[in-house]
Amino acid sequence: MIEIRFHGRGGQGAVVASKVLAVAFFHEGLYVQSFPAFGVERRGAPVMAFLRLDKEPILLRVNIYKPDHIIVLDPTLIRAVDVTSGLKPNGWILINSGHSPETFNDLKDFRIATVDATSIAIRNGLGSRTNPIVNTAILGAFSKASGLVGIDSIALSIREETPGKKNENAKAAREAYEEVKF
Amino acid sequence: MKRVITGNQAVAYGVILSRVDVISAYPITPQTTIVEELSELIASGRLKTKFLKVESEHSAMAALIGASTGGVRTFTATSSHGLAYMHEMLHWASGARLPIVLVNVNRALGAPWNIWGDQSDSLSQRDTGWIQLYCENNQEVLDTIVQAYLIAETVRLPVMVVLDAFVLSHTAEAVEIPSIEEVDSILPPFCPDYPIDTQEPRAYSVITTPDYFLEFRYKVQKAMEQVPEVAKKVDDEFKARFGRGYGAIERYGKEGAKVLLMTSGTVTSTSRTVIKKLVEKGLSVAGIKIKRFRPFPSEEICEAIQGAKKIAVIDRNLSAGVGGIFAQELRASLYSREERPPVFGFVSGLGGRDITPELIEEAIQYTMEHPQPEGDIVWLGLKR
């Protein structure tokens, strides 16, 4: 079983990202379980979402305490919350950031990948300049860095699960796939 | 068609596939997205169901009592304080023998405020004359709604379908969604016994003196007594059609196990992983899932526990002054039997705290190590 935790801010689409990634893995024949942090969400406040995937049916119905990988939608969260809490050694930390992975050398126990999902989102007209929607771009980067899920499955899932701008969202994911650094 | 959907979306699909005529509901977390999903479909014209907007849960149930008396299929959903607010109308629905289906997303009742999973809401309605069915995963949620209408309309009693807050309601997983034609093939339209008809005027639920009231309640009890047989037939037919059946209870794990673990809702799902691991280690343990809480499946349980030396029950609910409600019902079921293994009543996970594999293993370990529990309640994961 693989467990993934998303860190974002309320309104950034972390919960949708978890669902879109779940559906991508589902298309590749895996069992999936996607859920938000069970709480009261507020715009701008740190939020989390979770994803389990397995070749067998998933019976475990509890929170994820020791994720295999982490996806961070907002780089300011790296210093604001303990994003690596419980993260297994050698797990991926994928960060939405214009900086290179070496910038985050203090997280050296883990594998770091970065992608400028904010610029990609703005360039593709997703959200606004002050509030870009980065959740689809980051998934394209996850596909490339982790090698766990194909970019075509991500694009298909985006088309099915996003309410609007399906082409732009899918394009953003493909651009992030090409631009991610690790 | 298989789709990745949340438990609340599974509820909405179950309602759509059951061709419900009238919905009335008032939003409350964590039930809200059920009503959002259904009302959006109705507003856009894609679902030809009448949605009655109300100012409270009490009115929602009252509206459905009227609609169901009129002879149409009805649905509502609620949680926690909303269900409590319906309380007197719940009695009325069963007394009037109306086959209303209600989904309750389990949530704790305040004070203090809490929006998370806890079965105290549905279990505190156990004496209202409603059938109660608990679900373990999103597939079971969808399937149980279709089965609920079949059972309700056969025995003429309302059914409450229960799912855990967030752990099911807001969690997405793959669910097989049958076509509406497939569901039509097992669920015929609702045919009321005495629908409102202006050509043949009748009075409904008029004042009934002590001369006859006892007989009305006797008939409710007799209808409840039909449920095990009716529900089994419905489940068997459902399984023959769709390949999925659930039973009133399910026993899993080691044959002839000495220690049993009884659970309900999503705790069963997590318990399956624990029991599997312990059986592989060579321990003599098995699990019992309770799906149907009302009428309580005493016969089925007594058959399933034969040979067991101890039974552990994990309750995510509390009847203060007594203990866990499933444990209490189990003790009552066992009393008239010759074989009465000690019941270890664990209370855990109130207000949505995780019931982790570690806690479940701790409960089984405690049960194995103690000849008798140290009290009617054994608290699990309590911060002292």
Annotate B148-163 with DSSP letters as a single string.
HHHHHHHHT--EEEEE
CB within 8 Å: B172 and A38: no
Instruction: Kindly tell me if the per-residue pLDDT of A2 is higher than 90.
Output: yes
Closest chain B residue to the Cα of A38, Cα to Cα: B166
Which own/partner contact pairs does B337-341 have at CB distance under 8 Å and 24+ positions apart? B337/B302, B339/B305, B339/B306, B341/B305, B341/B308, B341/B309, B341/B310, B341/B311
Q: What share of chain B is helix, strand, coil (3-state, %, to 5)?
A: 40, 20, 40
Instruction: Report helix angle B32-43 to B7-17, nearest 10.
Output: 40
Size of interface A-B (CB pairs under 8 A): 58
Closest to B171 (Cα-Cα) out of B122, B198, B200, B135? B135
Quickly state the pLDDT bin for B215 (edges 50, 70, 90). very high
Q: How far is B168 from chain A (nearest CA, A)?
A: 9
Three-class SS state of A63 = coil
User: Confidence class of residue B183 from pLDDT cuts 50, 70 and 90?
Assistant: very high
Residue in A33, B109, B20 with CA at minimum distance from that of residue B34: B20
B357 touches chain A (CB under 8 A): yes
DSSP annotation of B29 reads T
Q: Which residue of B has its CA nearest to A19?
A: B172
Beta-carbon contacts of residue B374 (< 8 Å; ≥ 6 apart): none
User: Within B18-110, where are the H helices?
Assistant: 32-43, 57-70, 80-85, 87-95
pLDDT for B300 equals 96
Alpha-carbon gap, residue B103 to B18, rounded angstroms: 14
Domain count, chain A: 1
Subunit contact A38:B269, Cβ cutoff 8 A: no
Average pLDDT over residues B193-203: 92
Domain containing A10 — which CATH number?
Answer: 3.40.920.10
Ordered by where they begin, the domains of chain B are 2-242 (3.40.50.970), 249-379 (3.40.50.920)
Task: Tell me if A34 and B172 make a contact (CB, 8 A cut-off).
Answer: yes
Rounded Cα gap, residues A74 and A133, in angstroms: 11
- Does position A106 have pLDDT exceeding 80, yes or no? yes
Question: Chain A within 8 Å of B174 (Cβ-Cβ)?
Answer: yes
For strands B292-294 and B131-134, give the pairing. Answer: antiparallel
> Between chains, do B270 and A60 touch, taking CB under 8 Å as contact?
yes
Q: How far apart (Å, rounded) are the C-alpha atoms in residues B138 and B173?
A: 7
Q: Is B172 on the interface with A (CB under 8 A)?
A: yes
Mean of the per-residue pLDDT values of chain B:
97
Number of Cα atoms under 13 Å in the Cβ half of residue A54: 11
Q: What is the pLDDT of residues B318-345, one digit of tens each?
A: 999 999 999 999 999 999 999 899 999 9
> Which domain does A70 fall in, by range?
2-179
Q: Give B 13-72 residues with CB within 8 A of chain A.
A: none
Q: Residue B350 carries which DSSP code?
A: G
Q: Give A162→chain B minimum CA distance, Å.
A: 14
pLDDT tens digits for range B4-49: 999 999 999 999 999 999 999 999 999 999 999 999 999 999 999 9
Q: pLDDT, tens digit, for every residue of B185-197? A: 999 999 999 999 9
Facing residue for A34 by CB, picked from B171, B272, B356: B171
- Give Cα separations from B127 to B75, B109, B294, B296 (angstroms): 20, 18, 9, 12
Q: What is the chain B residue with the closest CA to A40?
A: B115
Which residues is B249 bridged to in the sheet?
A: B290
Shortest Cα distance, chain B CAs vs residue A106, angstroms: 32
Cα separation, A13 vs A5, whole angstroms: 13
Share of chain A above pLDDT 90, in %: 85
Interchain contact B171–A (C-beta under 8 A)? yes
The predicted model gives B351-359 an average pLDDT of 97
Contact A34 B266 (CB under 8 A): no
Tokens 């609340």, residue located: B8
What region does B382 belong to: left with phi over 0, alpha with psi -120 to 50, or beta? Answer: beta
CB < 8 Å to A23, chain B: 4
Instruction: Identify which of B170, B183, B106 has the alpha carbon closest to the alpha carbon of residue B143.
Output: B183
Hey, are the CB atoms on B173 and A34 less than 8 Å from each other?
A: yes
